[in-house]
Amino acid sequence: MNDPYFAQDDEYGLIGACLSGGSDVCHEVFAKIPTAAIQHDKLRCLYEIAKGLSAKTEPVNMATVVKEWKRSIPQITPPFEELNRADELCPSPANHPAFSQTVLEAYHRRQLRTAGDRLIRESAVSTLSVDQIVSNAEAGLTVEASKEEVQSSKSVVSRFIDSTQERFSRQGQLSGITSGFHRLNQMTDGFQYGELAIIAARPSIGKTAIAIAIAKAAGIDARIPTLFISLEMSDESIVRRMVSAIGSIPMQDIKTGQLDQGGMKAMSSASAKIAGSPIHFVSGSSVSNIATITAVIRRAVRKWGVKLVLVDYLQKIHGSKSAEKKTYEIAEVSGRLKGVASDTKTAVVALAQLNRENEKDKGRVPRLTDLADSGQIERDADLVLLLNRERNQPQGEAVIAIAKQRDGECGLVPLWYDGQFCRFSDPSPIY
């Protein structure tokens, strides 16, 4: 009977493919299969030795592996029996994709079993909250094949060349998710997958409005599966503001219900666009804990293929444990959001508060040090956008300061704000 947790013959076949397939096969296999995926002890040692030889750009074959074994593990006789069997079970190195798939499948099943065992054990630990237990289980279900592996310079350069060629082939299309703002897209190439972006502002400047504009551009216009998590507003309130922005219906008219026939038609059309979009909403106190939020994100990625997550807003989220200082709690929250973005390969955009410092100097553009509660936010974030406008003006110019961008320039992006629709847009003409 086949053991679903142990693909022994395929492990032998994989080693055989590496020993006979040359550098191209080794490069492809080593980039995909972590050492931990090989369960057989002696085969795992052989695999690690072969990876080390490849990293040093030395040839990988039976003779070089035996020589390196004798040098690095002189106290143990080289496993000639395993080497011969590996050669027998690999009729052709061209079979390495099939071997890799089966070995990874067994490895992933072992990871799932471990996550299940942990869930059972932790369910009996009274000091752990249910949210924390669920979050730990969800994290265990996120399988990252090569996450812990050291990568050779050859492997990294090869991936860099592949990604650069892919960028050329896009012919000007964004590598990330559109923000809906032309100049911002030009400077950032969109919100990048696997990264955490922070959009920060003072109260009543328009953090939620900018998030709704991004959700509209990505979820409705570009049809990108989007998750909107709000700790400040109900999902119905968010949709109300979306309808106002999309249908150009004054927010006050929707709130009071004083809509004429044209307004009702515009509201119906905007509502249909939202209803037909791949946007999903989560709101309320049920998602106030970071453990619950990360679990919700992981489930949404698996269930709906979510690619963009909007979180409104960071300082409202509680840590998994009671912290003595708010600083420590916010540091945990930003770190966990960064982690879930990286694990799930989603673009996570979290709104955040600025402190009062920039309001002391009237007219000053916000800066990184204005982020409220914790400096860890700017360290965890890959992109930090600081939004500012004149709060008392119902309509007028606004600006986004790109205060941090790991892989790009910083600078100012002009916008236009229309208060009656709670809507940000590109200024006209487009810069």
Instruction: Please identify, among 132, 160, 188, the residue that sits at the C-terminal boundary of a domain.
Output: 160
pLDDT of 119-140, one tens digit each? 888 888 887 777 677 777 766 6
Strands (E), 235-375: 279-283, 308-312, 347-353
Measured in degrees and rounded to the nearest 5, phi and psi for residue 324 equal -65, -35
Verify that 58 and 131 share a domain, yes or no. Answer: yes
CA–CA separation, 185 and 163 (whole Å): 19
166 inside domain:
no
Q: In Å, how far are 399, 404, 423 from 363, measured between CA atoms?
A: 12, 20, 22
168 inside domain:
no
Q: What value does the mean pLDDT of the chain take? A: 83
CA–CA separation, 26 and 51 (whole Å): 8
Instruction: Evaluate if residue 374 carries a pLDDT over 90.
Output: no
Mean pLDDT over residues 144-165, rounded?
60
pLDDT of 71-84, one tens digit each? 888 888 889 999 99
Verify that 138 and 235 share a domain, yes or no. Answer: no
CA–CA separation, 178 and 224 (whole Å): 9
Instruction: Evaluate if residue 430 carries a pLDDT over 50.
Output: no
pLDDT of 285-331, one tens digit each? 667 788 888 888 888 888 899 999 999 888 888 876 655 577 778 88
DSSP letter for 352, please: E
CATH number of the domain that residue 132 is part of: 1.10.860.10
pLDDT of 172-182, one tens digit each? 688 889 988 99
Q: Which residues are 13's β-sheet partners?
A: none
Domain of residue 58: give its range: 8-160
SS3 269: helix
